[in-house]
Structure formats: C-alpha cells, structure tokens
Amino acid sequence: MQKLQRRTLVKALAAAGIASSTFGLQACSSNDKSQANGKRVVIIGGGFGGSTVAKYIKRFDSSTQVTMIEPKKTYMTCPGSNWYLAGLVDVDYLTHDYETLKTKHGVNVLHQMATGVDAVAKTVTLDNGEVLEYDRLVVSPGIDFIYDAIEGYSEEVAEIFPHAWKAGPQTELLAKQIQEMPQGGRFLMVAPPNPYRCSPGPYERVSMIAEYFKKHNPTATIMVLDPKTKFSKQALFGEGWRDVYGQMIEWYGSQDGATVTKIDVASKTVYSDFDEVSADVINVIPAQKAGKIAFTAGLTDDSGWCPVDQDTFESKIHKDVFVVGDACIAGAMPKSGHSASSQGKMCAAAIVSSLNNLPMPPTRNVNTCYSLVAEDYGISVVGVYENKDGRLSGIPGAGGVSKAGASLQERKMEADYARSWYQSITKDIWHS
C-alpha cells in the first residue's frame, strides 16, 4: 500500500484553498507513523456534498478506494433551477454527469440506492442486495419533506401543487404550470419554516417567476404566505421587487397570520389566520428534515437533522461515519450547495488525515449565495465560518451582503458574478 506523504496532502489541501499556514508545521512529525489499516471510503449521495468528497479524497490521496452510490445517472442542481422558471437557462445547463469523477479521478460510481447501513459491521446494503464494506462512510443525502405538516398536503398532492424543491421533474412541472397560467391570474407560494435548504431560495424563486410574468403575463400577481417573521436578504429583495416589479409581489409573514395550516386541492385554496386565499398556481415548499437514509442509518437526533463534529463532520452518533451538506447540523452555516461543497472538502481532508494517521488541519468553511432578482439584477451574501466552542460560527468582519441602494450597473455585475459562480462551482465538482 502506498503511503501518503504529508507534504503531498498539504500541497493538495493548499491547492483546494482549505489548508491553513500552520498545517505543515503541525504535521512535521508524522513520517514515522504507522500505515492506515484500511482505505475504503463509501459515499452515499452524488450532489454538491457527496461528489465534492469523492473528488477531493482522490485528489488528496489517490490510493484510497472511493465508491459513490447515486441512483441517478445525471444530477440536476437546485442552484440555478429558479433561473429555469424564468426561462433564462435550460435543463441541460443545470444537469451534470459523473463521467469526469469516474474517468479522471477514479471514483467508482454505482447507480444504485443505498437501503441500509450497519455502523457496527461497517457495511452498506444496496437495493440490488449487494453489501459494501467501508473503513469510512460519508452520508450526503440532502433533504426530505415533512408532508403532513400542512393538512391536505401529501406526496401525491405535490404532483398537483409542486414543491420543485428537489430539481428535476418537479421543476419542469412548476415551469409548465407557470407558463399555462391564465393572463392576470394569481401565483401563490407557501414558504417553508426554518430550517430548510437554501434560505434565500424561495424569494429568488418569486423574483424569477415575476421576471417571467413581466414578459409574458404582465397583469399576473404573486403572493407569498410565510410561516417566518423575516427571511434572508429581505431588505434587498424588497428593494429589488419594488424597483423592478412594482406591486406585483406581495409577501406576508407569521406576524400577519400567514402560517398556512390547511390546503384544499379541489378549490385551489389555502387556509391561514391571514385569510382564505385561492390561486391559479400554488407552489408549496414543505417543512424539511434530513434525507431518508440518514434516519435509516440512525444518524439523526430529535431535530430531524444529523449532529456532527464541527471540524471533521464525523457523526456524533456513529464513529467513522460522516455527514455533509443539507442533512447535517453545521452551526451557523446555511444549508446550500456552496456550504455542502465547502464541508465536503473539509470532510475529505479529515478522512484522508485519519486514514493516514495525520493530524486534521485547522480549517475554515465558507458559503457564498447569489440570488437573481431579475435577469440583470443580482444580490449576494458571503459568510466565513470557524469552530468556536464546538459550533461553526461566522467570523466577524469576514464576508458580507450586497449594499442597499446600489446602482443598476452594480446589480448587473452581481448577476454576472452569479452566473460565473455557478459555472465555477459545477466545473470544480463535476467537470475538472
């Protein structure tokens, strides 16, 4: 078995932009440490988190055997899917395959469903009956929905009132309903409670639907009923909505009684203390929890999410099992594609370090989130996070949000940056 040299890992970590300057000094005494007993890593999930872990483990230590389990042969990203609703991009733009991970990085990708995890025997069972052994397991399942949180809503009703919160057929269904909505009709969004995937996502969505309506259905209206009192980048969204769309978008929060408790499919009506509201198209984004396999594997706590070590992303429940992305509890980090990828790099470093008896480097996580208010009107928020007292916390003075009252030229630049961000991160994960 080839032994990983510490300088090789340090160089790879630095190239990935995640190693601190102190790591090399801390690792100087590791040359005489024993060889790792096993180097088999299994990863469940091929989204932003899982694919990043797979690629970066192979980059840090190509001798590690990496198997990724992902049922789908292609992956359509949630980031950018709102742009699809506005007609700004097509499905191909948002869809990525696993060929580069296979052919360039040597990741063994199995298009199967993981149905069971035995954290004692260290095995994963697939739906075809195959059992995989692992030395380290990464679970990156994304989110699942709590359908029964609203009376009358269910997985079946989601085919009538789509959530479109997992990109794919649901996204295309919602786009079709928007395109077929009567002139002057009403679009209604039922927003989700905290915590959920992509905190600004619902509000970028109504922005992009307004962008579509402005061109194709200019007398249409949009209403958002929200169980929260506020939302991410609210002031910036509000400024953009007023500047670009006038009175087209109405938002009501829980302080207005806008927490939806019941839905009637036949009359297309939602019920809350705010009012009984009917609409031509209803988009319900349900309350959320960790993906199903996280529950099957016993990785969740009473919150419905997965507690992890905030440095390594190793589960606090099962040793040698790691959880990254939307399913994990990552302190102040939001659930986003960028967060999942950042966590994936940290997790890869932690696994390679542990398999090679190297100390885990002190690292920092980052999240970047761009939102389009209109095709040429972008806003953003950036956060940098470090572990303080066992919890990932934002570093004061690092990151920030777009300034209020910016010029249209500045908003256009941010829209251009948003598209560049998407192309860069998807290339890093799936195409380079």
Query: CA 38 to CA 64: how far, in whole Å?
Result: 9
Backbone angles phi, psi at 382, to 5 degrees: -130, 135
Say if strands 221-225 and 95-97 run parallel, antiparallel, or are unpaired.
Answer: unpaired
Q: Supply the pLDDT for residue 362.
A: 84
pLDDT band at 363 (very low <50, low <70, confident <90, very high): confident
Residue percentage of the chain with pLDDT more than 90: 90
Average pLDDT over residues 162-184: 98
Q: Tens digit of pLDDT for each residue in 101-135?
A: 999 999 999 999 999 999 999 999 999 999 999 99
Q: Determine the Cα–Cα distance for residues 349 and 364; give it in Å rounded to an integer.
A: 12
> Whole-number mean pLDDT of the chain?
93
The pLDDT, as a whole number, for residue 5 is 62
At residue 214 the predicted structure's pLDDT band, cuts being 50, 70 and 90, is very high
Q: Which residues pair with 324 in a beta bridge?
A: none
DSSP string of 157-217, one letter each residue: GGGTS----SSSHHHHHHHHHHHHSPTT-EEEEEPPPSS-S-TTHHHHHHHHHHHHHHHH-
Q: What is the pTM of this model?
A: 0.92
- Express each pLDDT in 314-324 by its tens digit: 999 999 999 99
Domains in the chain and their CATH numbers? 40-145+288-431 (3.50.50.60), 155-284 (3.50.50.60)
Q: Is the pLDDT of residue 77 over 80?
A: yes
pLDDT of residue 29: 32
Predicted pLDDT at 27: 35
Residue of 198, 168, 143 lying closest to 73 (CA atoms): 168
Task: Determine the pLDDT at residue 7.
Answer: 62
